[in-house]
């Protein structure tokens, strides 16, 4: 991984990349407004590369997302947006007959993809749907969740119908703070019926495979703000990743990241895509990033030197802890190491 690699002259995270694939919420924007430095950094990243977007948010169409990005100053076509409803339709087409009726729990983004895939939309379990597909929308309430539970009362292994969730993100960043995501709504149905949904979006691989195929990417880089969906999914798909600290996950989450959810790069914000990424040197229980050094001393994580930049201290701390292969709860970690001076919504 590049995080632990050695270079005589550090390269930027974008060197050698032909396609940048970015998450949206927490990376490009929070709510309606762009995050600081996102628009100019992504505009610059697009020079000589393809730029696409991967989103688990099922509440809007690809066209509406593209229009939103264009309004923010990132000119985008609908086919440059890969959504979890599109991944869900890929899964459904493999499991039910063309033209089947599907009970939809969600908003316009999901309904639009169901229609484009040639299926029939219903909101009622009484219409004997062949499957249930569930995605986030602000208007989803008890009535839609109850209809899903009614339709899914028979387990699939006993002849029940498939249940596809576009994603299971527990939270979604908004301008006013962090709000419940689709995972909480899927969990409500699960609690009622005791079944588990098949997940189409991140951290599952199909949505990444769709994006790579659509852009013909040979050397992609994925940008995300969540370890449990964005980074885990990119790792599963074999795509290098950058975690940007402008969304959900914070320094304490980075330090605790398990092996499958560790990013290739850690960025304070998207400006650092264009900066040389420093070498991370790990030896004899110490990790050094420029002037920051963190040492492992038995159960203690010790800051030897803080360096000049908080992001380098975090990189060094993560490298030191990750290199042990031990879980974070086995260490005593100084509060200074997971201080959080980075922007978030």
- Tens digits of per-residue pLDDT, 113-134? 999 999 999 999 999 999 999 9
pLDDT value at position 9?
Answer: 63
**Arithmetic mean of pLDDT, 323-328:** 95
Confirm if 91 and 114 have CB atoms less than 8 A apart. Answer: no
Please list the active-site residues: 23, 25
How does pLDDT run across 132-144, given as a tens digit for each residue? 999 999 999 999 9
Percent of the chain at pLDDT > 70 equals 97
Pair (157, 193) in one structural domain: yes
Tell me, what CATH number does 248's domain have?
A: 3.40.50.1000
Give the C-alpha distances (Å, rounded to integers) separating 74 from 44, 69, 107, 207, 256.
11, 5, 24, 22, 34
Which residues constitute the domain of residue 309? Answer: 279-339
> Does residue 13 register a pLDDT over 90?
yes
Final residue in a domain of this structure, among 226, 248, 277: 277
Q: Is residue 311 part of a domain?
A: yes
Rounded to 5°, the CA angle 38-171-325 comes to 85
Q: Is residue 80 part of a domain?
A: no
Number of domains in the chain: 3
> Does 64 reside within a domain?
no
Residues 169 and 220 placed together within one structural domain of the fold: no
Last residue of a domain, one of 132, 166, 199: 199
Domain co-membership, 192 together with 93? yes
**Bridge partners (DSSP) listed for residue 180:** 171
pLDDT at 3: 56
Same domain, 189 and 206: no
Average pLDDT over residues 201-207: 92
286 and 261 in one domain? no
| pLDDT over threshold 60, residue 158 | yes
Q: CA-CA distance, 192 to 244, in Å (whole number)?
A: 36
Residues 287 and 297 in one domain: yes
Task: Read off the pLDDT of residues 188-200 as tens digits, 9 standing for 90 and up.
Answer: 999 999 999 999 9
Q: Is the pLDDT of residue 283 over 60?
A: yes
Residue linked to tokens 């330090």 = 255
Whether residue 283 sits in one domain with residue 271: no
**Block residue for tokens 């430095």:** 37
| pLDDT beyond 80 at 2 | no
Decide if pLDDT at 1 tops 80. Answer: no
Q: How does pLDDT run across 77-115, given as a tens digit for each residue? A: 999 999 999 999 989 999 999 999 999 999 988 999 999
Q: Are residues 40 and 50 in the same domain?
A: yes
Average pLDDT, integer, range 191-210: 94
- Calpha distance 197→335 (Å, rounded): 38
Question: Is the CB of residue 220 less than 8 Å from the CB of residue 18?
Answer: yes
Q: Are residues 95 and 158 in the same domain?
A: yes
Residue 345: per-residue pLDDT: 55
Look at residue 61 and tell me if it is in a domain. no
Which burial class, exposed, middle or buried, applies to 270 when counting CB atoms under 10 A from its CB (0-12, 13-18, 19+)? buried
Domain boundary among 199, 223, 258: 199
CA distance 213 to 165: 22
Same domain, 143 and 241: no
Residues 50 and 95 in one domain: no
pLDDT at 305 over 60: yes
| pLDDT > 50? residue 7 | no
Is 32 a member of any domain? yes
Q: Determine the Cα–Cα distance for residues 311 and 232; give it in Å rounded to an integer.
A: 21
pTM to 2 decimal places: 0.86
Does the pLDDT at position 65 exceed 80?
yes
The confidence score (pLDDT) of residue 344 equals: 62
In the predicted structure, residue 317 carries a pLDDT above the cut 90: yes
* Mean pLDDT for all residues in the chain: 94
Tell me whether residue 298 is in a domain. Answer: yes
pLDDT band at residue 343 using 50, 70 and 90 as cut-offs: low
The reply to whether 228 falls in a domain is yes
Q: Does 271 map to a domain?
A: yes
Same domain membership, residue 218 and residue 161: no
| C-alpha gyration radius of the chain | 21
């Amino acid at each position: 991984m590049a995080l632990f690699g050695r270079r005589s002259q550090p390269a930027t995270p974008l060197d050698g990349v032909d396609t940048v694939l970015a998450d949206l919420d927490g990376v490009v924007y929070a709510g309606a407004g762009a995050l600081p430095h996102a628009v100019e950094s992504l505009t610059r990243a697009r020079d000589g590369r393809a730029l696409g977007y991967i989103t688990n948010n099922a509440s809007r169409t690809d066209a509406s997302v593209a229009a939103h990005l264009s309004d923010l100053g990132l000119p985008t076509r609908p086919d440059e947006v890969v959504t979890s409803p599109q991944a869900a339709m890929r899964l459904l087409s493999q499991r039910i007959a063309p033209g089947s009726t599907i009970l939809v729990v969600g908003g316009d983004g999901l309904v639009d993809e169901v229609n484009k895939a040639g299926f029939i939309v219903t909101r009622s379990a009484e219409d004997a749907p062949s499957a249930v597909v569930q995605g986030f929308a602000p208007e989803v309430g008890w009535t839609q969740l109850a209809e899903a539970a009614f339709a899914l009362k028979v387990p699939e292994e006993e002849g029940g119908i498939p249940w596809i969730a576009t994603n299971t993100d527990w939270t979604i960043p908004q301008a006013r703070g962090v709000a419940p995501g689709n995972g909480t709504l899927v969990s409500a149905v699960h609690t009622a019926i005791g079944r588990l949904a098949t997940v189409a979006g991140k951290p599952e691989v199909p949505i990444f495979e769709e994006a790579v195929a659509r852009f013909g990417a040979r050397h992609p880089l994925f940008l995300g703000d969540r370890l449990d969906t964005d980074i885990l999914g990119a790792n599963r798909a074999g795509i290098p990743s950058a975690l940007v600290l402008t969304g959900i996950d914070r320094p304490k989450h980075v330090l605790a990241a398990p092996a499958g959810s560790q990013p290739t790069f850690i960025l304070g914000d998207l400006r650092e895509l264009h900066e040389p990424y420093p070498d991370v040197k790990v030896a004899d229980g110490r990790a050094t990033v420029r002037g920051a050094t963190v040492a492992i001393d038995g159960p203690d994580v010790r800051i030897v030197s803080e360096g000049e930049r908080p992001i380098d201290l975090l990189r060094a701390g993560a490298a030191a802890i990750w290199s042990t292969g031990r879980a974070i709860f086995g260490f005593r970690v100084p509060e200074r190491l997971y201080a959080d001076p980075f922007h978030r919504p």
